[in-house]
Structure 1
């Protein structure tokens, strides 16, 4: 999962630790090519619909083209911040449509119809698909800020400072959200083993 395309550095230029990628992408195209699959997984977890996730990632990548002249060290937090805002926009738009434009469907006994997820994407045929589905489901149940902190810090392996810049909050908030997310995920997934 680690590739040399997506390097991360601290504002002073030094790498935060030895496990972080040690090369910056040569071009914005190389950066976007390297981050695409991970960005899609992040968006799919937040939006729970493949088409919306693809659209959000594509929109974020298109917006990144305007920042091609920025230093490569700024691309990572900038991209994740743009994608995060795009996901929030889609979620808000969905909520508005669901509550104002269409009445909630009801069964014959007047109880609301609950929409269910169709399960994991069928293209995930590897041995860990059930584990992935459980993790994705557990992540989807977390509050948005906890899900973002966990995804960016653990799955994307961004350092605390970069995650804070991407989320638009303090480093302390990132640590708090991450700690709460880990506790909640541990509770949700401990029965699965």
Structure 2
């Protein structure tokens, strides 16, 4: 039986952060395989470049690397979509697309969402539907426990922007789950 890594070891840190990082990337990309690749790249970069840094700096460093990898992914996807738009079917006859008439099966009733709020999938869906910057601010602050300054460092923006993104994310999630209202404590 292999020995367990020391609590302050890089292996322990990576084991602790891996599930949350994968879910963060999956929410952002909406692609499980791409998310796993992105998290793996971020972990390999942390190990290769920062293994000898102070263990207390690994969290913000890892999340900054993960954020950079996600941004790289979005840039690649944007370029790919730009170059392959010619593959979209042409509508020469001016006919309507029959797929546009299929009703949306998503229930957006706040009462129903509130009743299902105890289901983690509902909460994750609400987080997954946030704009990327709000999603990142929410996950880094609420889930990873980073403070405003650390979150700003990871996201590459000002602390005021982090507070704005986090506030908007909280309001959006609460609205989707049917819980309106914000306390001053949520803003800090």
TM-score by length of 1: 0.70
Corresponding position: 1:71 with 2:59: no
Contact 1:25-1:72 within 8 A present in 2 as well: no
Q: How far, CA to CA, are the matches of 1:42 and 1:148 in structure 2?
A: 8
Asked if the contact 1:98–1:104 (Cα under 8 Å) also holds between the matched residues in 2, the reply is no
Structure 2 partner of 1:169: 157
Deviation track 1:161-188 (CA, whole Å, cap 9, x = no partner) reads 2212211222222111100111111122
Q: CA deviation at 1:98?
A: 1.9
Runs (4+) off by over 6 Å: none
Helix, strand or coil at the partner of 2:52 = coil
1:80 to 44, 63, 73: 63
* 1:73 Cα offset (Å): 1.6
Is residue 101 of structure 1 aligned with residue 84 of structure 2? Answer: yes
**Pick aligned residue for 1:37 from 8, 16, 19:** 19
The CA RMSD measured in Å over matched residues stands at 3.0
Is residue 50 from structure 1 mapped to residue 28 from structure 2 by the alignment?
Answer: no
Question: Once the two structures are superposed, what CA deviation does each residue of 1:5-44 show, in whole Å capped at 9, x if it has no partner?
Answer: 9xxxxxxxxxxxxxxxxxx952222211111111111111
Any residues of structure 2 matched to 1:1-193 within 5 Å, and which? 25-65=7-47, 66-102=49-85, 103-105=87-89, 109=95, 111=97, 131-190=119-178
Whether the 8 Å CA contact 2:117–2:177 is kept in 1: the answer is no
Where structure 2 has 5 or more consecutive residues not aligned to the other structure, the ranges are: 101-115, 180-188
Taking structure 2 as the reference length, what is the TM-score of the superposition?
Answer: 0.72
Cα deviation digits, residues 104-146 of structure 1 (max 9, x gap): 35789464979xxxxxxxxxxxxx8983333233223222111
The structure whose residues are more often helix, as a share, is 2
2 CA distance for matches of 1:106 and 1:130? 45
1:160–1:174 CA contact under 8 A, matched in 2: yes
Tell me the alpha carbon deviations over residues 79-117 of structure 1, each in whole angstroms, 9 at most, x when there is no partner.
001001111111221122123224335789464979xxx
Give unpaired runs (5+ residues) of structure 1.
Answer: 6-23, 115-127
SS of residue paired to 1:79: helix
